[in-house]
């Protein structure tokens, strides 16, 4: 396993989020539609403060980025930990749905019930029908 200083610091921040703020898997389940990923991006993107703040998915008081336009090392730790939280959330959703007969779209990652209309595509497996309808 790769253990660079950055990976260690991001892991420590994720542990702090879970133990210090209570942002565990159950808490993260409520952040659907890419909220955790969007928050991670807001900590990592290089842009003017006003533009980054417009993209923040939650209450402004929760955004605690330290520096603009480039993120500080602490901002990168927070953004990396939020990205890890989104990855864990997506994997948890995928496990839950597939164990219960559902499936997860190979394009958008959205969990679907077993009876949701789908198509088979060689490049990505089972996908949401609307991805293909939009291409027509």
Per-residue pLDDT, averaged over 114-121, amounts to 64
Q: Are residues 87 and 113 in the same domain?
A: no
Where does the pLDDT of residue 8 fall: very low under 50, low under 70, confident under 90, or very high at 90 and above?
very high
Each residue's pLDDT tens digit, 32-71: 888 999 999 999 999 999 999 999 999 999 999 999 999 9
Q: Are residues 25 and 79 in the same domain?
A: yes
Q: Are residues 17 and 33 in the same domain?
A: yes
Q: Are residues 90 and 24 in the same domain?
A: yes
Quote the domain boundaries for residue 119: 101-136
Q: Are residues 70 and 115 in the same domain?
A: no
102 close to 113: Cβ distance less than 8 angstroms? yes
Q: Are residues 89 and 124 in the same domain?
A: no
Give the span between the Cα atoms of 86 and 36, in whole angstroms.
Answer: 5
Residue 132: per-residue pLDDT? 55
Q: Are residues 78 and 129 in the same domain?
A: no
49 close to 68: Cβ distance less than 8 angstroms? yes
Where does the pLDDT of residue 136 fall: very low under 50, low under 70, confident under 90, or very high at 90 and above?
very low
Each residue's pLDDT tens digit, 10-35: 999 999 999 999 999 889 888 888 89
Q: Are residues 13 and 65 in the same domain?
A: yes
For residue 119, what are its two tokens?
A: 């198509």
Q: Are residues 117 and 77 in the same domain?
A: no
Count: domains in the chain:
2
Where does the pLDDT of residue 135 fall: very low under 50, low under 70, confident under 90, or very high at 90 and above?
very low
Q: Are residues 88 and 21 in the same domain?
A: yes
Centroid of chain to Cα 67: 22
Residue 81: per-residue pLDDT? 98
Q: Are residues 110 and 93 in the same domain?
A: no
Confidence (pTM): 0.76
At 118, which helix (H) or strand (E)?
A: strand 118-121
At 101, which helix (H) or strand (E)?
A: none
Q: Are residues 42 and 71 in the same domain?
A: yes
């Amino acid at each position: 396993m790769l253990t660079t200083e950055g990976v260690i610091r991001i892991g420590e921040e994720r542990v702090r989020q879970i133990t210090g703020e209570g942002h565990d898997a159950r808490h993260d389940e409520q952040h659907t539609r890419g909220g955790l990923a969007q928050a991670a991006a807001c900590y990592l993107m290089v842009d003017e403060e006003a533009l980054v703040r417009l993209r923040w998915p939650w209450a402004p008081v929760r955004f605690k980025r330290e520096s603009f336009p480039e993120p500080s090392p602490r901002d990168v730790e927070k953004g990396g930990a939020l990205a890890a939280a989104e990855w864990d959330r997506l994997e948890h959703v995928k496990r839950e749905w597939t164990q219960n007969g559902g499936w997860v779209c190979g394009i958008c990652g959205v969990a679907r019930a077993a009876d949701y209309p789908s198509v088979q595509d060689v490049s990505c497996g089972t996908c949401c029908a609307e991805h293909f309808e939009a291409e027509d």
